[in-house]
């Protein structure tokens, strides 16, 4: 990646800001840092920043307090659902997985993951629904339903503070490459790729909004705009609609590949679920 002078100036400004600003290190409990160096030299970014950095102090404060953070309303619903038996087998999540704090301590940081039986990767939402249909004999939850969001947020929250660590080699490689291509392909009437904003102009203003790196480590995320928790695929759809493109469907192979690639772009950033964004 060639570094423009603007980018170097921008990065030093960010670095300087981190040192002088009081709230930058007042992180949510269990989160050590929200800014890390890219893991590998061939990473398109030098420094990785959680979307938290690009928000106003009020939005940041909302995430910092586990009581005031409305995303925890969903996490709490997930606590109940974890213990609730459903389907023909009379099982709950806890029947197989026991205490989520132990069994799910790493899972939230490592999705999407290769599924040998299906011959493709699955993300957290898909894995939860696979458990429901195959082990519990229960109906899969609808994408973006309160139940699926709650369970996804609850499970990912168990991995809060753990660095994102997705596998991108072996059978995952073609999916990773597909995701990378999607990320860099211009779409829609505005003719913008993900990279047009989140790679090339993060930290700068798009109208009154501050562009982030488009990191995924806080999903499902409570968005002020949505006034509720929402999935990463919902966010992808929103971005695509806003550049006046025809969005892919939630749970589609395209979004799955994109999720894998975007998660890799945040490799090393701690899981923040449930994050709060604008």
Partner 1 sequence: MKALGLKGKTMEDMTRRDALAFAAGLVAITVLPLPVLAAEETAMDEINKFVGGGEAAESGRVTLETPEIAENGNTVPLTVMVDSPMTADDYVKRVLIVADANPRPGVATFHFSPKSGVAEASTRMRLARTQNVIAVAELSDGSFHMAKSMVKVTIGGCGG
Partner 2 sequence: MAKSKPRVKAPKKADKGEVIAIKTLISHKMESGQRKDKKGDLIPRQIINRFTAKFNGESVFEVDIEPAISANPYLQFNMRVEEAGEFEFIWEDDDGSVYTKKQKLDVT
Is there binding between residue 65 and partner 1 (CB under 8 A)? no
As to burial, measured by CB atoms within 10 angstroms (0-12 exposed, 13-18 middle, 19+ buried), residue 17 is exposed
Is there binding between residue 77 and partner 2 (CB under 8 A)? yes
- Stretches 44-52, 67-75, 115-123, 196-204: which one binds partner 2 (CB under 8 A)? 67-75
Write down the least CB distance from residue 4 to partner 2, Å.
40
- Residue in 66, 67, 63 with CA at minimum distance from that of residue 55: 63
Is there binding between residue 189 and partner 2 (CB under 8 A)? no
Judged by beta carbon distances under 5 to 8 A according to partner kind, the member of partner 1, partner 2, none in contact with residue 84 is none
Distance of CA 25 to the CA centre of its chain: 21
Q: Is 93 a catalytic residue?
A: no
Is there binding between residue 10 and partner 1 (CB under 8 A)? yes
Is there binding between residue 111 and partner 1 (CB under 8 A)? no
Helix (H, G, I), strand (E, B) or coil at 115: strand
Is there binding between residue 110 and partner 1 (CB under 8 A)? no
Task: Give the span between the Cα atoms of 140 and 76, in whole angstroms.
Answer: 20
**Which residue bears the tokens 């893991």?**
39
Task: Give the span between the Cα atoms of 148 and 171, in whole angstroms.
Answer: 27
Give all strands of the β-sheet with 276-277 in edge-to-edge order: 228-230, 221-223, 276-277
Write down the least CB distance from residue 103 to partner 2, Å.
25
Residue 7's contacts (CB-CB under 8 Å, 6 or more residues apart) are: none
- Exactly one of 97, 135, 178, 210 binds partner 1 (CB under 8 A); that residue is 210
- Exactly one of 18, 73, 94, 245 binds partner 2 (CB under 8 A); that residue is 73
Neighbours of 55 (CB within 10 A): 20
Q: How far is CA 162 from CA 49, 165, 177, 197, 269, in A?
A: 15, 9, 25, 27, 8
Answer yes or no: are the C-beta atoms of 258 and 245 closer than 8 Å: no
Is there binding between residue 16 and partner 1 (CB under 8 A)? yes
Is there binding between residue 225 and partner 2 (CB under 8 A)? no
Per this entry, what is the length of the chain?
Answer: 278
Judged by beta carbon distances under 5 to 8 A according to partner kind, the member of partner 2, partner 1, none in contact with residue 20 is partner 1
In the complex with partner 1, which residue's Cβ is closer, 87 or 188?
A: 188
- Exactly one of 67, 88, 101, 189 binds partner 2 (CB under 8 A); that residue is 67
In the complex with partner 1, which residue's Cβ is closer, 3 or 117?
A: 3
- Catalytic center residues: 239
Residues that bind partner 1 (CB under 8 A): 4, 6, 10, 13-14, 16-18, 20-24, 53-59, 62, 189-192, 196-197, 201, 203-211, 223-225, 227, 238-239, 242-244, 278
What does the binding site for partner 2 look like in residue numbers (CB under 8 A)? 67-68, 70, 72-74, 76-77, 146-147, 150, 227-228
């Amino acid at each position: 990646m060639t570094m423009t002078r603007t980018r170097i100036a921008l990065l030093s400004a960010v670095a300087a800001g981190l040192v002088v600003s009081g709230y930058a290190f007042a992180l949510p409990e269990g989160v050590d840092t929200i800014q890390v160096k890219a893991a590998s030299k061939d990473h398109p970014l030098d420094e990785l920043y959680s979307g938290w950095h690009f928000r106003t102090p009020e939005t940041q404060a909302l995430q910092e307090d586990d009581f005031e953070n409305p995303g925890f309303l969903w996490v709490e619903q997930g606590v109940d659902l974890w213990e609730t038996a459903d389907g023909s087998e009379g099982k709950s999540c806890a029947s197989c997985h026991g205490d989520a704090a132990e069994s799910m301590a790493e899972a939230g940081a490592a999705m999407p993951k290769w599924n040998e039986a299906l011959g493709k990767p699955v993300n957290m939402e898909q894995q939860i629904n696979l458990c429901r249909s195959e082990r519990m004999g229960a109906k899969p939850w609808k994408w973006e339903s309160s139940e699926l969001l709650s369970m996804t947020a609850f499970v990912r929250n168990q991995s809060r503070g753990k660095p994102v660590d997705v596998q991108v080699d072996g059978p995952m490689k073609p999916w990773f490459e597909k995701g990378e291509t999607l990320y860099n392909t211009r779409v829609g009437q505005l003719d913008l790729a993900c990279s047009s904003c989140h790679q090339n102009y993060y930290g700068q203003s798009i109208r009154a909004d501050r562009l982030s790196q488009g990191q995924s480590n806080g999903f499902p995320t409570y968005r002020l705009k949505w006034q509720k928790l929402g999935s990463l695929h919902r966010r992808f759809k929103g971005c695509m609609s806003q550049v006046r493109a025809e969005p892919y469907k939630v749970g589609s192979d395209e979004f799955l590949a994109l999720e894998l690639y975007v998660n890799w772009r945040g490799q090393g950033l701690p899981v923040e679920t449930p994050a709060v964004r604008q």
